[in-house]
């Protein structure tokens, strides 16, 4: 999304509405929506690295290599989280 309806502007609008919401559940939902909107245009993960880690995980599981599987899972999760923008979840509860 570009221009007037950018994901950043929509996220800012959701945050502004959340700041005005008086009901806690509505405020939390608007904050969650803002977090989702901020990440809609996050860059894609390097597919070759993802595939290599997925293969490593699969091989470790096949070989009953628990430490290897855990390490592969950690690396895969970190790779997939890397492009995401942080969200201040404490704002949803007011602190």
Write the pLDDT tens digit of every residue in 40-72: 888 889 999 999 999 999 999 999 999 999 999
Same domain, 23 and 49: no
Same domain, 50 and 84: yes
Predicted TM-score of the model (pTM): 0.61
Q: What is the pLDDT of residue 93?
A: 63
Same domain, 25 and 8: yes
Residue 95 lies in a domain: no
Range of the domain at 72: 45-90
Same domain, 66 and 81: yes
The total number of structural domains in the chain stands at 2
Q: What is the pLDDT of residue 1?
A: 46
Same domain, 25 and 59: no
Give the C-alpha separation, 70 to 75, whole Å: 9
């Amino acid at each position: 999304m570009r221009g007037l309806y950018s994901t950043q502007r929509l996220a800012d609008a959701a945050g502004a509405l959340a700041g005005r919401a008086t009901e806690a559940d509505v405020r939390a939902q608007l904050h969650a929506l803002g977090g989702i909107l901020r990440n809609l245009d996050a860059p894609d993960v390097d597919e070759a690295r993802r595939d290599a880690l997925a293969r490593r995980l699969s091989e470790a599981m096949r070989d009953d290599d628990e430490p290897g599987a855990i390490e592969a899972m950690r690396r895969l999760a970190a790779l997939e989280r890397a492009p995401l923008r942080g969200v201040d979840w404490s704002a949803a509860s007011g602190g």
